[in-house]
Amino acid sequence: MVGVERIDGGPRSAVVVGAGIVGLSTAWFLQERGVDVTVVDRTGVAAGASWGNAGWVSPTLTIPLNDSGVLRYGLRSLANPTAPLHIPLTADPRLWSFLLRFAANCRRSSWSRVARANVPFNAECIEAYDVLTSNGVDAPTTDGPITALFESPHQAEHLLAELRGLAAVGQTVTINRLSGATLRDNVPLASPAITTGISVEGQRYVDPGRFVHALAESVVARGGTIRIAEVTDVQPAGSRIRVKLRDTDLTTDATVIATGAWLSRLTGRRVRTPVRAGRGYSFTVPVDRPVPGPMYLPDVRVACTPYQGALRVAGTMEFRSPDDPLQPARVEAIVASAAPLLDGVRWAERTDVWVGGRPVTPDGRPLIGEVAHGLFVAGGHGMWGLAHGPITGRLLAEHITTGKQPEALREFNPLR
């Protein structure tokens, strides 16, 4: 029974479906608790949103998507194919049903609920990374501010209002305002159009693909198995869980579905809250000036991060199937919007062009917890899967092995 404390010592074996940051973090923390783990992914490690994102571990910037401004912006974007938020005019009834539910949650009370629910995760997300890197995950993490750039002080007011809203629900927020020579020293790539900066302190960033692969290597080194196979179904089998693959079945004490934007395909009718792909794009460009740290361009929804001696540029929110091909027009739209704001970037020399599906829920809250005896889900983190992946794994592993639901997971009940 969901939520009932177990007295049998917890599961001895588990299958985690999904080899992204959430699934692998859950596997790693299950191993910490003595569980034998197999991870199954249809494509491989970090094949979804875990590879090409901006790499931010940014507790202060986990700003909920569902506010009234996003709704108004989305409606205007329908007529603008180059807008950062893109909703194709398709006949997909499930997409429009999802968007109607999302719109119904674009109100201040829903925004505050998500922000408040995120506070415990934000308080521990950096520590969860430190636990991993101190115990065998061989990948660096870098501390530093993330600097938001604006063409005028007036443009900065929207972000400042959001940060005040986060502070009001208990989020720690530390910022510094930048202008003039200080701004130029801190952000050498800022173009003359930029006059105002907001430096958000106490953040961190990683090379996401490198980190997730290092996490996978640690899971294997600790005795885990990673299999490339497609899972077609997951069902209770008496007191255990049967995971059906194309060519065989796996039977285990516990199973975690952590398949990102594909989550709803395996949860079926058990989970009423749908997960859709809010696809993001990224690419890498060489630069002619130093990049001391990450930059955020809020007005055009673009994130930029130092990456292997160059700059990773990430942006857009596109509601399409996660399996649809990359749309070159979305990449061109990111370049067109960001180029006037940054100098010293060789936009025409971009490489590593990528698209990945961020898993978005209509109410802005992820789905983390038990949906049937021994069957768990973990996903729907939206834009903040990298930031919240390790702390999700740590809390879910506690839930799985003890039968006690951590207080921080109550707002993310997948059966809501």
3-state secondary structure the chain: CCCCCCCCCCCCEEEEECCCHHHHHHHHHHHHCCCEEEEEECCCCCCCHHHHCCCEECHHHCCCCCCHHHHHHHHHHCCCCCCCEECCCCCCHHHHHHHHHHHHCCCHHHHHHHHHHHHHHHHHHHHHHHHHHCCCCCCCCEEEEEEEEECCHHHHHHHHHHHHHHHHCCCCCCEEEECHHHHHHHCCCECCCCCEEEEEEEEEECCHHHHHHHHHHHHHHCCCEEEECCEEEEEEECCEEEEEECCCEEEECEEEECCHHHHHHHHHHHCCCCCEEEEEEEEEECECCCCCCCEEEHHHCEEEEEECCEEEEEEEEEECCCCCCCCHHHHHHHHHHHHHHECCECHHHCEEEEEEEEEECCCCCCEEEEEECCEEEEECCHHHHHHHHHHHHHHHHHHHHHCCCCHHHHHHCCCC
- Over residues 75-106, the pLDDT tens digits come to 566 556 667 777 777 768 888 899 899 999 99
**Residues 6+ positions from 35 with CB-CB distance below 8 Å:** 10, 11, 12, 13, 14, 254, 397, 400, 401
Q: Which residue has the tokens 């109607």?
A: 100
- pLDDT tens over the chain, length 416 residues: 344 444 456 899 999 999 999 999 999 999 999 999 999 999 999 998 999 999 999 999 999 998 876 666 665 665 566 677 777 777 688 888 998 999 999 999 999 999 999 999 999 999 999 999 999 999 999 999 999 999 999 999 999 999 999 999 999 999 999 999 999 999 999 999 999 999 999 999 999 999 999 999 999 999 999 999 999 999 999 999 999 999 899 999 999 999 999 999 999 889 999 999 999 999 999 999 999 999 999 999 999 999 999 999 999 999 989 999 999 999 999 999 999 999 999 999 999 999 999 999 999 999 999 999 999 999 999 999 999 999 999 999 999 999 999 999 999 999 99
pLDDT given for residue 91 in this prediction:
64
Quick one: tokens of 303? 């994130």
By C-alpha distance, which of 111, 170, 156 is closest to 364? 111
- Over residues 143-160, the pLDDT tens digits come to 999 999 999 999 999 999
**Residues 6+ positions from 6 with CB-CB distance below 8 Å:** 402, 403
If one counts every other C-beta atom within 10 angstroms of the C-beta of residue 140, the result is: 11
Cα distance between residue 50 and residue 211, in whole Å: 9
- In percent, how much of the chain has pLDDT > 90? 88
Residue 279, CA distances (Å) to 81, 110, 185 in order = 15, 23, 33
User: Amino acid identity, residue 109?
Assistant: S
User: Amino acid identity, residue 60?
Assistant: T
Quick one: tokens of 108? 């201040």
pLDDT given for residue 4 in this prediction:
40
Contact call for residues 280 and 84 (beta carbons, < 8 A): no
- Over residues 241-287, the pLDDT tens digits come to 999 999 899 999 999 999 999 999 999 889 999 999 999 999 999 99
User: Amino acid identity, residue 288?
Assistant: D
Give the distance from CA 390 to its chain's centroid: 11
Cα distance between residue 359 and residue 380, in whole Å: 5
Contact call for residues 62 and 388 (beta carbons, < 8 A): yes
Domains along the sequence of the chain with CATH: 13-412 (3.50.50.60)
Cα distance between residue 301 and residue 317, in whole Å: 9
